[in-house]
Amino acid sequence: MKHFILLLTWLSIGCLQAVLVPNVDSIKMADGKSLAADVYIPNGMTQGPVILIQTPYNRQAYRFGGLPLGIGMNLQNSAYIIVITDWRGFYGSAKSAYLGSPDRTSDAYATVEWIAAQTWSNGKVGTWGPSALGKIQFQTAKRQPPHLTCICPLVAAPQFNYSEYYPNGCLRTEYVEQLDQLGFGLSNFLLSHPYKDNLWNYTEAVNTYPDSIQVPCLMIGGWYDHNTDLMLDFFGQLQQKSPLNVRDKHRLIMGPWAHGGHGTAKVGSKNQGELNYPNAENYSDSMALLFFDYYLRGSNNMWRNTTAFTCYDLGSMSWTKSNQWPEVPTSINTWYFNNNGRLTLAKPQTNQDSFKYQFNPLQPSNTLGGSTLRTDLDQGPYDQRPIEDNLTAFSFETDALTDFVALSGAVKVHLKVSSDQLDTDFDIRLVDVYPDGRSMLLNDAAYRMRFRNGFTAAAVSMMQAGKVYDCTITLPNTNNVFLKGHRIKIILSSSNYPKYNRNMNNGAEMYPGKSTDSLLNPLTANNVIYMNSVQSSYIEMPCKPNISGLEADHLEAYSIYPVPVSNTLTIDIDNIQQNAYYQLYNAYGQCIATGLLQDQTLDCSLLHAGQYWINIQGQSLRFIKL
């Protein structure tokens, strides 16, 4: 999440409401320079645990926009002291800028130990923050300051991988442009290294260090975020390679969330693109507080009973819990492309069918939603019908499903392709088609054909006109049950701009002049997708097995509303028994009430403000009382 986008909004709001007034301090670093810090101490707290936030987006934004984790503008809502610092070289710490390459781990170490030495600190320090504020938490933990107790990075992982910026060889244009606007200035390095060279190999090696994470880590991500695969990969490494005494203490929550930074879609909000997920609202804050309460305050709460993975299912709108990803062994469903725009389980019977189309780089298929970052683009799930209507993208879909299809993992799209140009791209969008016709985007991926043999300069190979090639596109991981009556759709094109750099199709230098979007001498490509009995194109979808009939009842969507609740909570679960037995727990895991649920409602008027869990029919549902 990029907080700087919200700063002007927060400033304007601040003119109309109270402003938080922190203690302003200066933290001296090892080289004698200092970082600017805001320290928020609740009234009456003489000593307590601390949550540290390290930001490059101006610590003062929190004075006007409110503190995270549900604290807002009321500091007395906090059980923690909050310390927020500006990164060296940014905002209040601008005068302390590095002369050479930044070593933020040294600053992070000094900051944590400075906090621990203050009279208002009890010596326990946790960290929190999204995106860049999350990456620096991994760097902090790598340096292993003695008083760092736990970390909670959101939509972030520590890796700096070639595939993050050049997935399948295609530059993520809007992503790199936005990072430059944020002041990170990565484009010069990235455009100087469009191939996976030794510098990339070294960079990837030094930025992957699961064995150095010696404190419990709660990672929180979203299925509509661009860091999904990085997070799943690194969490798997934590489970296998972090020190034994902490290995089983790490947790990963994947919700129905986009990266955030502008608009309403962000971690913890119910509004994501054109869809709403009310039972995911504030879930990230509630779980983070349980995590912090357990490790920083020693609370005997429900955190100790959590599983390694807590994952949201986008289709059924339900939370599932397991100790592995995918949560259960999956089987592969294979769907074949057919020339009539259909996806079928049966392989095509003819030996001549193919689909031909033109790709003109000057008329690209435009990006609509998804895992974007640039401020002029939408984030999250959006209806893709406008993309199909402009005749630069083409769809293939199943019949209406008569049973559930429970996707859990990464879809692979296997294409047989040819082109009359030296190079071209193939782009895939995976879509859930609703009975009312909405084509809601799940995720997407692009593939540059010159990299079909590998991503090093030596592996580059141009296409020969008319020759048929294999093209395998692996989409990001996701978790979605396609419900009965829905359709599975693949939208095929040769561009998804400006999310990905558009291919000039001429086989020449990809980024002349180090431009993220150069169209020097573009050519129109005549591309062919083969879909016949000899040369089949198909998708492989990892699915949870035995999702049918009564075995799928638990995947039916439920909703719990309103959240937060003031008086009456409605629990709308399909097939709920009349007068179902329930157990109500507070945030500390204490059972405070039991009874029979009358008319699927629960009277909450006498409950104190806070978070609660209600267990009913094998499901544990969280809600917040105002």
Whether the Cβ atoms of residue 579 and residue 616 lie closer than 8 Å to each other:
no
Residues 6+ apart with CB under 8 A from 599: none
Q: Which of 274-278, 428-432, 480-484 has the highest mean pLDDT?
A: 428-432
**Is there a cis peptide before residue 326, judged by omega within 30 degrees of 0?**
yes
Q: Residue 598 carries which DSSP code? A: B
User: Which of 109-118, 467-476, 541-550 is the least confident region?
Assistant: 541-550
Residue 9 confidence (pLDDT) above 50: no
Q: What is the pLDDT of residue 328?
A: 75
Indicate the domain borders of the chain: 1-154, 331-543, 557-625
Give the residue with greater pLDDT, 101 vs 570. 570
Residue 310 is given by DSSP the state E
Judged against a pLDDT cut of 50, whether residue 556 lies above it is answered with no
C-alpha distances out from residue 606 to 76, 154, 279, 301, Å: 22, 34, 22, 22
Contact 393, 493 (CB under 8 A): yes
The β-bridge relationship of strands 275-276 and 309-313 is: unpaired
CATH code: domain 557-625 is: 2.60.40.3080
Neighbours of 474 (CB within 10 A): 16
HEC letters along 456-492: CHHHCCCCCCCCCEEEEEECCCEEEEECCCCEEEEEE
Question: DSSP for 407-474?
Answer: EEE--EEEEEEEESSS--EEEEEEEEE-TTS-EEEEEEEEEEGGGTT-SSGGG-----TT--EEEEEE
pLDDT of the residue at 22: 94
Is the previous residue joined to 498 through a cis bond, with omega within 30 degrees of 0?
yes
- Rounded to 5, what percent of the chain is helix, strand, coil? 25, 30, 45
Which stretch of 103-117, 229-243, 309-323 has the lowest confidence by average pLDDT?
Answer: 309-323
The Cα 613–Cα 568 span in angstroms is: 15
For residue 4, pLDDT beyond 50 = no
- pLDDT tens for 602-617 read 889 888 876 677 877 6
Residue 571: what are its φ and ψ, rounded to 5°? Answer: -115, 105
CATH number assigned to the domain with residue range 331-543, chosen from the 4 options 1.10.357.10, 2.60.120.260, 3.40.50.300, 1.10.10.10: 2.60.120.260
Q: Which homologous superfamily is 1-154 in?
A: Alpha/Beta hydrolase fold, catalytic domain (3.40.50.1820)
Residue that is written with structure tokens 């510098």 in the block = 199
- Contacting residues for 199 by C-beta, under 8 A, at least 6 apart: 193
Q: Are the beta carbons of 543 and 479 closer than 8 angstroms? A: no
Alpha-carbon dihedral 252, 257, 259, 265, rounded to 10 degrees: -150
pLDDT of residue 12: 38
pLDDT for 620? 65
| Most confidently modeled range among 63-77, 408-422, 589-603 | 408-422
pLDDT at 6: 44
CA distances from 152 to 185, 296, 586 (A): 26, 12, 22
State the CB neighbour count (10 A cutoff) for residue 545: 11
Residue 130: in which H helix or E strand, if any? Answer: strand 121-130
Question: From CA 350, how far away is CA 244, in angstroms rounded?
Answer: 56
> What would the pLDDT profile of 446-493 be if each residue is shown by its tens digit?
999 999 999 999 999 999 999 999 999 999 999 999 999 999 999 999
Least confident of 1-5, 159-163, 304-308: 1-5
Q: Please tell me the distance from the alpha carbon of residue 427 to that of residue 418, in angstroms, as a whole number.
A: 14
The answer on pLDDT for 539 being more than 90 is yes
pLDDT, the chain, mean? 90
